[in-house]
Amino acid sequence: MRFLKWLIALMTFGVLAWGATKEEEVDDWDYNATEMLEDSYNGKGVVMPAVVSSIAPAPMMEASRAMSKTIGFSVGGAKDTNNFFENIKNGYLPKLSSITYEGQFYSHYFDTGIGLGECKALFCPSYSKAVAKNIFTDENEYYLSVGLNSGVKESDFVRKKLNLVVVLDISGSMGSRFDSYYYDSMGKKQHANSDKSKMQIANRSIVEMIKHLKNEDRLGVVLFDDRAYSAKPLREIAKSNMKMIEKHILDLQERGGTNWSEGYAKGVELFSKVELNDRAYENRIIFITDAMPNSGELSQEGLFGMAKGATQKGIYTTFIGVGVDFNNDLVEYVSKTKGANYFSIHSDKEFRKVLATEFEYMVTPLVFDLKLNLKSSGYKIVDVYGSPNANKSTGSLMEIDTLFPSKSSNEKVKGGVVLLKLEKTSNASDIELEVSYSNREGKSFETRQSITFEGKEARYDNSGIAKAILVSNYVSLMKNWLLDARAGCNDKVEYLVHKPEFAKRHCISGPENMPYYQYVSEWEKKSCKLSVSEGYHNLLSLFRKHFATQMEQLDDKSLKEELKVLDYLIKSSKQSDDWEFKQ
């Protein structure tokens, strides 16, 4: 009898415990499209749900397997150039910021000198030198690459627990096809196949992303159109009914206008329920949009100022752009803030591949406020390739806000270089390099190294700097082509020069040096048809020969993607203009 009572009590306890567990896994979704729409018609304020995310690495372990490879680093900002390639593939002229140096670098692995010396620190910069011939001017150019290495073992890398807030754009433009321009329809809503609309791709991508969250992570969701709506409060994954949350996300549909600021503010608001200074957690907003706001977002009162303010609170931001008409310009501007990065996606399958290998890294910035001071009476910095903060880096100083962990393979690091173009000012050859940076806890570190820049003939210290120069020259040419091509489409440029000497001077140079760069605007535009002038046909053909030769010498098949684009653009050259450039 006593045993029977014990068995009944045990069964009762089990049922209660099971019920309590089930009650903890709540469906806390708090957004109803019909109710919200009725409220908006009644003049009530409506705010979409914001997503709160916190991602950070756990303390790195001292002991590790001797054979375990280390991670490397890549800079913040753009993590791909997918939007550039997708526009070309669909017959559109890409936007100027759709291709960046750091984004293109992140498509490749670089020899960063990992094996040259033992690294036990969080960050171990290495330096490589090169003298290269400019193919347009035949002049010597001097380069210095900074290899972004780390002593952290890949087997020891573990991110911190995460407070993650997803802020999702559900405005009307998200209902358009991912392979077309919303404003081609004069602002009218485009009806698309659900499998190809930006909204559906975004919804499925979020579902794929939250599958990477762990039980102790917290997730919140915010939605926004012309208002913002809190859809899901910040709650532990273990206490949320994730199957129902995924279903709610997949059911979301587009509507209304676009108010980035209100959506972002609501996302930040979700963090008020957690302790931002808890070192066990990382705090991150993942902002998903087709990026069609107004230019006022660049003000201190707009999204740009809000993202900087959130950073000061320890909340970092990842932007994810959807569709070929994704406006990279604003996102590139905002992503220059500390701890920020951005990706562009055009299918949920594509994003799933990124998440499979990148999620832990994309949410875990490790190095901040990196500064390189170059002391030399013989050289000075004139250009920096591979950092969104390139405009802050001239003369003797290079500045980078954030480094994110990155994969390494065969002693090469994905996106693991920053390239400095130097100007020779005298015959002095000694260079002293001072690097300072801080870790996640705000502790500062410094390193010093001296190098000697000798020789006047073309030479490269290693394949890494040779590849970095080749890829950066490719990006410069693409950006200058876009700057000229887009000048006659949508943008009204008053100052435009088409002369051979102008081409020689600028084709492998940053477009920011162009005298009419300031006149180019990228807000809310219709598409531009892909076009290549006769002048650029000649330039692309010349550069293509050089690129193919270098690719063969480097024996690097990953460069075939750039070569395919060059071939496609050369074949697309039909339009003539007054630019005649001869070799």
For 169-219, the pLDDT digits (tens) are 999 889 988 888 877 765 444 444 445 799 999 999 999 999 999 999 999
Mean pLDDT is lowest, of 38-47, 301-310, 324-333, 424-433, for 38-47
Q: How far is Cα 76 from Cα 71, in angstroms, rounded to an integer? A: 16
Whether the predicted pLDDT of 378 surpasses 70 = yes
For residues 481-499, give the mean pLDDT: 61
Average pLDDT over residues 43-48: 33
**61 vs 521, more confident:** 521
The pLDDT, as a whole number, for residue 24 is 67
- Candidate from 45-49, 110-114, 414-418 with smallest mean pLDDT: 45-49
The yes-or-no verdict on residue 373 having pLDDT over 50 is yes
33: enclosing H helix or E strand: helix 33-41
What structural domains and CATH numbers belong to the chain?
33-58+158-362 (3.40.50.410), 105-155+366-461 (2.60.40)
Per-residue confidence band for 47, with pLDDT thresholds at 50, 70 and 90:
very low
CA 478 remoteness from chain centre: 18
Helices 260-269 and 303-312 pack at an angle, to 10 degrees, of: 20
* Distance, CA of 143 to CA of 94 (rounded, Å): 29
Distance CA 517, CA 494 (A): 11
CA distance linking residue 568 with residue 354, whole number of Å: 26
Q: Residue 44 pLDDT > 60, yes or no?
A: no
User: Of all helices (H) and strands (E), which one includes residue 572?
Assistant: none
| pLDDT (mean) for 544-562 | 96
For residue 522, pLDDT over 70 is answered with no
Position 465 pLDDT exceeds 90: yes
pLDDT the model gives residue 514: 58
Per-residue confidence (pLDDT) for residue 314, from 0 to 100: 94
For 367-443, list the strands marked E by DSSP. 367-375, 379-385, 397-406, 408-409, 412-414, 417-424, 430-438
| pLDDT (average), residues 470-479 | 96
499 versus 414: the higher-pLDDT residue is 414
Examine the pLDDT at 513 and tell me if it is beyond 80: no
Is the CB of residue 413 less than 8 Å from the CB of residue 72? Answer: yes
Burial of 369 (0-12, 13-18, 19+ CB in 10 A): middle
What integer pLDDT is reported at residue 112 of this predicted model?
93
Instruction: Please return the burial class of 314, using the count of CB atoms within 10 Å of its CB with bins 0-12, 13-18 and 19+.
Output: buried
Higher pLDDT, 247 or 345: 247
Give the Cα separation of 166 and 1 in Å (integer): 56
Neighbouring C-beta atoms of residue 371, cutoff 10 Å: 16
CA separation for the pair 40, 50 (Å, rounded):
18
Highest mean pLDDT among 11-20, 35-44, 451-460: 451-460
pLDDT-derived band at 6, boundaries 50, 70, 90: low
Considering only residues 91 and 291, tell me which one the structure prediction assigns the higher pLDDT. Answer: 91
Distance CA 209, CA 355 (A): 7
CA distance 343 to 419: 22
Report the range of poorest mean pLDDT among 50-64, 165-179, 333-347, 509-523.
Answer: 50-64
The answer on pLDDT for 301 being more than 80 is no
Nearest to 254 by CA among 425, 9, 37, 524: 37
CA atoms 240, 241, 247, 253: torsion sign: negative
What pLDDT, on the 0 to 100 scale, is given for residue 110?
97
DSSP string over 249-270: HHT----S---HHHHHHHHHHG
Tell me: pLDDT of 550 over 70: yes
Q: 155 pLDDT exceeds 50? A: yes
- Name the phi and psi angles at 376, rounded to 5: -160, 140
Is residue 482 predicted with pLDDT exceeding 70?
yes
Average confidence (pLDDT) over 339-354 = 88
User: pLDDT per residue over 29-40, tens digit each?
Assistant: 887 654 444 443
pLDDT exceeds cutoff 50 at 16: no
What mean pLDDT is predicted for residues 68-93?
91
Confidence check: pLDDT of 15 > 60:
no
326 vs 67, residue with greater confidence: 326
CA distance 220 to 270: 7
Q: Best-predicted range by mean pLDDT among 119-133, 332-346, 523-537?
A: 119-133
Single-letter amino acid code for the residue at 142: Y
